[in-house]
Structure 1
Amino acid sequence: MKKRTLAMLLACTMMLSVALTGCGGGGGKDNKGGGSGAAVTEDGRDADGNIVDLTAFAVSLGSQWFTDEDLEIWDHIQDKSENPDKVVLRYACVNRSCDESPSLRGDKRFFIELKKAMGDRVEIQLFFNSTLGGTADQILGGLQAKNFEIASYNVGAYFEYTKAFTPLDVGFLVPDLEAGIAVCAEGSPARDLMIQKCLDDTGLLVLNMGAIGMRHITNDKRPITTLDDMKGLKIRVQNNNLHMAMFEALGCSPTPIAFSELFTALQQKTVDGQENPVSNIFEQNYVEVQKYMTLTNHLYTAGATAMNYEFYQSLPADMQQAIQDAAAKSQEQSGKDLINCEEQMLDYLASAGFEITELTPESQEAFKEKAMTMWDQAGGVMGQEYWDSVRTAIEGVVSGM
């Protein structure tokens, strides 16, 4: 077992440059820490260098990905076009901006690159905070109905529409963050299979699979270093049969709770713990209501920025190419951004009070072996032929790293 020492992590955190930007903040239950009321820097620090505003700190970690030219374009990204032949792209997003996570900043990169290439031939309209819908039916159904042209949502939300991304719900199939990014990268055979099935099933073309991250476990009972430590823990999970089956196999009592209600459930001890990517744990500030965090790497979560394919096909060939080029740059940036961000978010969580544990290779293998007892269920959920083909492709990407 490896533990991050608090002193080391505090030192790492204090060495972060205010010029860096990027991890994804906002949305937490208490994104602003204490403080004497003195001025807070742009990266969310007080006069002593302590991080007291998580939103400002998180947003500050992403600016390194955008040049002055990029930011000038972004400042005018929604300017009206006077071009009579313009194409209007309406973008639906449940989040409050494109600055709060690597995946969303990938979308920011996409629109900047598209505007660079197309100029006034494209007019971009951004709708945040679930303005155009917040549920899967509203977002994915809205895309299908052409209520808007492009939307950002995480791949798990596609489950009722297609099982294209269900392989990513199979525990311990993707071993770590770098593997998850590689599996979803441009040119990955696994990505190609998932995107094609999504297109066949829904008529939606996924342009990029933004990096959200590996999922890990927190709890308020004890450090988790072996399978025995999982026994009896009541862990909040998403309402997903494969997720619940995995946690049952690991010895837990999986309990579905809405994400919006999770902080309160942890605070009131309705459940002992939960599982989420680092960025969600950071943004929601679960360190206030949890003590232990274990880097289990049990699942990889990706985003999906998608466009109605019929609409896409109606566009001129050079605009289609510009969209594909912009999406490729978006995909690449989000992965690099997340790798940079996660260590810094973990540093903060450790300094704020989490006892963070990494599983040993032996424990990791024991967790995987136990989770694999439910892999046979995956074929029944998504179709055996599809499961076999994507599993083989994912394992091929991982072994080739």
Structure 2
Amino acid sequence: MKKRTLAMLLACTMMLSLVLTGCGSGKDKGGNGGGGGSNTAVTEDGRDADGNIVDRTAYAVSLGAQWFTDEDLEIWEHIQDKSDNPDKIVWRQGLVNRSMDEAPTLRGDKRFFIELKKALGDRIEFQFYFNSTLGGTADQILGGLQAKSFEGYSYNVGAFYEYTKAFTPLDIGFLIPDLEAGIAVCAPGSEARDLMVQRCIDDCGLRVLMMGAIGMRHITDDKRPIETLEDMKGLKIRVQNNNLHMAMFEALGCSPTPIAFSELFTALQQKTVDGQENPISNIFEQNYVEVQKYMTLSNHLYTAAATVVNEEWYQSLPQDVRDIIDDACVVAQEQSGKDLLNCEAAMLDYMKSAGMQVNELTPEAQEEFKNRAMSMWDEAGGVMGEDYWNSVRTAIEDVVSKM
């Protein structure tokens, strides 16, 4: 992969303003939005002379540019340079995404690798593989890590369901009420996070180093605004292939349909499903505004990222390197949370300007949704084990009570 500074990436995206791909799939999904105007003289943040956003990729990159200094960008330009150190550590990192610049959680990964390079220099050599080059399914990614086919991958904890129930507490609807609580639950030092990370290691031999902020999940559809439970009836909603997610949406009155994330845009476009549920950052990156008319801010689940490595490989590293990795994780995950809190409203404003109608559930409707979804809470212990569920739930509720 070619190395790029922020300036090079912005220059490239300004020249290719119509060639915009959604995160994860690498397909062209279009980039115009936010009104008309000329595509000439596009600014670094993707706007034309009238202030309209005409280059969504440049706009996305600009939202996180503040987090990186000139020194950071110089390191990033050479981040994949070969090392001549005979004792070097080679770290092959896979991503389903096309870059580490277009979303807060990806920029958290970028910060992580910059911090490692600052501290380790030629003791480490990074090789990045974008656009699912090392695999795009859970079996390819998590199985590949178990087999040590590569050292690391940037993914999301929701996809671990078939390998471990470690992160299943995050699949319990309305347990985490908002973005700030989700970030706190998954922060380094959180008891809930420590319990989840350790169970993942015990179950499948994989260590989640970072749980970056992807965000609260919300519902979009192309049929009608969702304001009450009654509006959910009959909607065919794409969900992840997760029994608890499907049970929750069945309880809410709609028809949940598992579809691979990489195939979702096409499924929405072809009306295979009426809608889907994802965090704002994913809805923005995938440009679902082109194929969905309505968004309901339902805050039904929190999704965390997973910067994950093979545990045996991690333990084989020198102690000082493991310490540096752990310290870099704290810095990078903190940036990820602040970044998302800072730019989520801007992503939402873009989608509104591009034609998506956004509504927020009233407190009464939110409580009604929660009460209906809580019917699945009784199933949680059977899925992940009563002792584990009770321990993590208590730890999460303790964090939420202090917010």
Work out whether the TM-score is over 0.5. yes
Q: Does 1:231 align with 2:244?
A: no
CA distance in 1, matches of 2:91, 2:264: 34
Q: Does 1:51 align with 2:53?
A: yes
Q: Cα–Cα, structure 1 residues 355 and 121, in superposed 2: closer, same or farther, change >3 Å?
A: same
Q: Cα–Cα, structure 1 residues 88 and 267, in superposed 2: closer, same or farther, change >3 Å?
A: closer
Q: Cα–Cα, structure 1 residues 206 and 31, in superposed 2: closer, same or farther, change >3 Å?
A: same
| 1:91 paired residue among 81, 85, 93 | 93
Do the aligned partners of 2:238 and 2:256 also contact (CA within 8 Å) in 1?
A: yes
Q: Give the 5 Å matches for 1:177-196.
A: 177-196=179-198
Q: What is the root-mean-square deviation of aligned Cα atoms in Å? A: 1.6
Tell me the residue number matched to 1:250.
252
Task: Tell me the SS of whatever aligns to 2:309.
Answer: strand
Report Cα offsets for 1:293-323 as digits up to 9, x if no partner.
1100001111111121212212211111100
- Kindly indicate whether structure 1 or structure 2 has the higher relative contact order, using CA contacts under 8 Å at least 6 residues apart: 1
Q: Give the 5 Å matches for 1:257-268.
A: 257-268=259-270
Q: What is the TM-score with the length of structure 2 in the denominator?
A: 0.90
Task: Tell me the SS of whatever aligns to 2:84.
Answer: coil
Tell me the residue number matched to 1:5.
none
Structure 1: gaps of 5 or more residues = 1-17, 19-24
Report Cα offsets for 1:307-360 as digits up to 9, x if no partner.
212122122111111000011111101111111121001111111112211112
Tell me the residue number matched to 1:8.
none
Q: Give the 5 Å matches for 1:153-164.
A: 153-164=155-166
Task: Tell me the SS of whatever aligns to 1:261.
Answer: helix
CA distance in 2, matches of 1:229, 1:32: 30
| 1:379 paired residue among 375, 378, 381 | 381
Tell me the residue number matched to 2:391.
389
Aligned amino acid, residue 235 of structure 2 = L
Report Cα offsets for 1:273-307 as digits up to 9, x if no partner.
21111112112222222222110000111111112
Report the number of matched residues: 378
Structure 2: gaps of 5 or more residues = 1-9, 11-19, 23-27
Q: Does 1:141 align with 2:167?
A: no
Tell me the residue number matched to 2:289.
287
Task: Tell me the SS of whatever aligns to 1:224.
Answer: coil
Q: How many Å apart are 1:26 and its aligned residue?
A: 4.4
Do the aligned partners of 1:31 and 1:283 also contact (CA within 8 Å) in 2?
A: no
Do the aligned partners of 2:91 and 2:127 also contact (CA within 8 Å) in 1?
A: yes
CA distance in 2, matches of 1:316, 1:246: 44
Q: Cα–Cα, structure 1 residues 188 and 32, in superposed 2: closer, same or farther, change >3 Å?
A: same
CA distance in 1, matches of 2:386, 2:395: 14
Tell me the residue number matched to 1:31.
31
Task: Tell me the SS of whatever aligns to 2:216.
Answer: strand
Aligned amino acid, residue 31 of structure 1 = G
Aligned amino acid, residue 102 of structure 2 = E
Do the aligned partners of 1:180 and 1:300 also contact (CA within 8 Å) in 2?
A: yes
Aligned amino acid, residue 196 of structure 1 = Q
Tell me the residue number matched to 1:61.
63
Tell me the residue number matched to 1:331.
333
Q: How many Å apart are 1:220 and its aligned residue?
A: 2.0
Do the aligned partners of 2:37 and 2:49 also contact (CA within 8 Å) in 1?
A: no
Q: What is the TM-score with the length of structure 1 in the denominator?
A: 0.91
Q: Does 1:167 align with 2:169?
A: yes
Once the two structures are overlaid, the 10-residue window that deviates more, 34-43 or 157-166, is: 34-43
Spell out structure 1 runs of 4+ moving beyond 4 A.
none
Do the aligned partners of 1:193 and 1:390 also contact (CA within 8 Å) in 2?
A: yes
CA distance in 2, matches of 1:231, 1:256: 18
Aligned amino acid, residue 239 of structure 1 = N
Q: Cα–Cα, structure 1 residues 151 and 264, in superposed 2: closer, same or farther, change >3 Å?
A: closer
CA distance in 2, matches of 1:110, 1:140: 20
Report Cα offsets for 1:63-101 as digits up to 9, x if no partner.
111111111111111111122222111111121111121
Q: Percent identity?
A: 78
Q: How many Å apart are 1:37 and its aligned residue?
A: 3.9
Tell me the residue number matched to 2:15.
none
Q: Cα–Cα, structure 1 residues 127 and 269, in superposed 2: closer, same or farther, change >3 Å?
A: closer
CA distance in 2, matches of 1:258, 1:90: 25
Once the two structures are overlaid, the 10-residue window that deviates more, 272-281 or 106-115, is: 272-281
